[in-house]
Amino acid sequence: MKMLLKGGILTDPASGTELKTDILIKGKRVERIGKNLKSPGKTFDIRGKRVLPGFIDLHTHLREPGREDTETIASGTKAGAKGGFTTLCSMPNTDPPVDSVSGVKYILTTCAQEGKIRVLPAGCITKNRGGSELTEVGKMSSAGIVAVSDDGSPVMNSLVMRRAMEYAGMFGIPVISHCEDIDLSREGMMNEGLLSTMMGLRGIPCQAETVMAARDIALAELTGCRLHIAHVSAERTAALIRDAKKRGIPVTAEVTPHHLTLTETSLKGYDTNFKVNPPLRSEKDRKALLKYLKDGTIDCVATDHAPHLDTEKAREFYLAPFGVTGLETAFAVLFTYLVEKKKLHLISLAEKMTLGPARVLGRDGLGRISPGGEADITVIDTYTEKTITEDFFLSKSRNSPYLGKKLKGFPVLTLYGGRVAFKDNEHLS
């Protein structure tokens, strides 16, 4: 089967290309790119719309197995496709955790049967994410994991983390570190500062993140293992990453849309949809994160999509869980808050959501549109404005900090391997 995308504006960060063109797809791959192409198959008229490589999210919580009431691989991949993603890296802090070959096989089998897009699983660093006994990284690597992480929990024992890096390095996969000193962050609920004092909420200092980032960078220097620092929230952490890169240490990093666009002041109304870990920081931190994203210190954007039930988020602030949903709104949030306001160029944003994460994973074939390459493609309508309401989401959960906000830059068509994974019938002819 052939498919033609007619008249779109190709925005390809790999080539720096922004031009009006047609894209002919045959089977799972791009066959030709050029003007005035024809196809005997389905043609999508996408004039005026942007054509980008399918987005890659390095940090998604799909909750399955164990919390299928909040999300499943089926619902999470549908949500990802609606947000323009064609690849998700699933975090292993499920219940039970993905800390064995059987857990990895469960994720891959379920995705093959029920997933709308590609899922690349991460495996746990330690058994049951307990922080003390290493998992069988080699066996899980052979089974299909692309990284190891105890995300949601730090590995507090430095010797265990060293051994984990040595072990992961043998198989060429990165360690994704949740940088948090829990002795500094314990019982904290928001960024530590004047506002947390005024609100009567226990704070989490930036140093809780920065101290652990410094340790893990030192261990990456010692072991030579690729270290990826998740959800960077603090200016000082990003500065450490910049210095590490200058010294040739193999470290990469990600930042979330909410840390790029929101600050601690969002919590003034005690809305638990703004309660995240690491917490929203100061305006100074937010501006610094954007600066470090633009100069390449921070390699990519990742959603840290963390679905929770309304009943969980409706509890008292100190009891409500950390986390926000992000798959469906990630690109639109960044387009509206940054690209529209000329704080970030569109092609730079595309790079941070496609090539950037592909490089972190060492997947050179992803994150680009080229003849012969995978037909993982996202078509974006940059003009239509939508207000985010609860019925907007395909995720099972609605805990978004952007509810009620007007956004632009929504995907209208997502192709995964040449197949339609999502189509907005209202805005695509």
What region does 127 belong to: left with phi over 0, alpha with psi -120 to 50, or beta? Answer: beta
Nearest to 225 by CA among 178, 177, 292: 177
Nearest to 380 by CA among 362, 417, 354, 341: 354
Which of 216, 304, 376, 381 is catalytic? The answer is 304
- Give the other-Cβ count within 10 Å of 392's Cβ: 18
The reported pLDDT for the residue numbered 323 is: 98
DSSP class of residue 291 equals H
Q: What is the DSSP string of 34-53?
A: ESS---SSEEEE-TT-EEEE
Contact between 375 and 322 under an 8 Å Cβ cutoff? The reply is no
Please give the Cα distance from 141 to 168 (Å, whole number).
9
What torsion do the CA atoms of 23, 26, 31, 37 make, to the nearest 10 degrees?
A: -40
Rounded to two decimals, the pTM is 0.97
Pairing outcome for strands 251-255 and 29-34: unpaired
Nearest to 95 by CA among 127, 140, 116, 64: 64
Q: What is the DSSP string of 297-334?
A: SS-EE---B----HHHHTS-TTTSPP-B--TTTHHHHH
Extract the tokens encoding 63: 């909750």
Tell me the three state secondary structure of residue 25: strand
Q: Report the CATH superfamily, name and number, of domain 54-361.
A: Metal-dependent hydrolases (3.20.20.140)
Please give the Cα distance from 205 to 260 (Å, whole number).
18
Domain with CATH 2.30.40.10 in the chain: 2-51+373-423
Q: Which residues of 396-429 are buried (b: 16+ CB within 10 A; e: fewer)?
A: bbbbbbbbebebbbbbbbbbbbbeebbbeeebee
The reported pLDDT for the residue numbered 268 is: 97
Which H or E run includes 220? helix 207-223
The reported pLDDT for the residue numbered 383 is: 95
Domain with CATH 3.20.20.140 in the chain: 54-361
Q: What is the DSSP string of 105-129?
A: HHHHHHHHHH-SSEEEEEE-SBGGG
The reported pLDDT for the residue numbered 365 is: 87
The reported pLDDT for the residue numbered 429 is: 66
2-51+373-423: CATH architecture: Roll (2.30)
Active site residue 304: yes
Q: Report the chain (429 residues): mean pLDDT per 10 consecutive residues.
A: 95 90 96 92 95 98 97 98 98 98 98 98 98 97 98 97 98 98 97 98 98 98 98 98 98 98 98 98 98 98 98 96 98 98 97 98 93 96 96 97 98 98 88
The reported pLDDT for the residue numbered 427 is: 81
The reported pLDDT for the residue numbered 330 is: 98
Pairing outcome for strands 118-123 and 147-148: parallel
The reported pLDDT for the residue numbered 16 is: 86
Extract the tokens encoding 286: 């937010």
Cβ-proximal residues to 164 (8 Å cutoff; 6+ apart), any chain: 125, 126, 134, 137, 148, 155, 175
Contact between 267 and 274 under an 8 Å Cβ cutoff? The reply is yes
Residue located via tokens 């200058």: 246
Cβ-proximal residues to 113 (8 Å cutoff; 6+ apart), any chain: none
Tell me the three state secondary structure of residue 361: helix
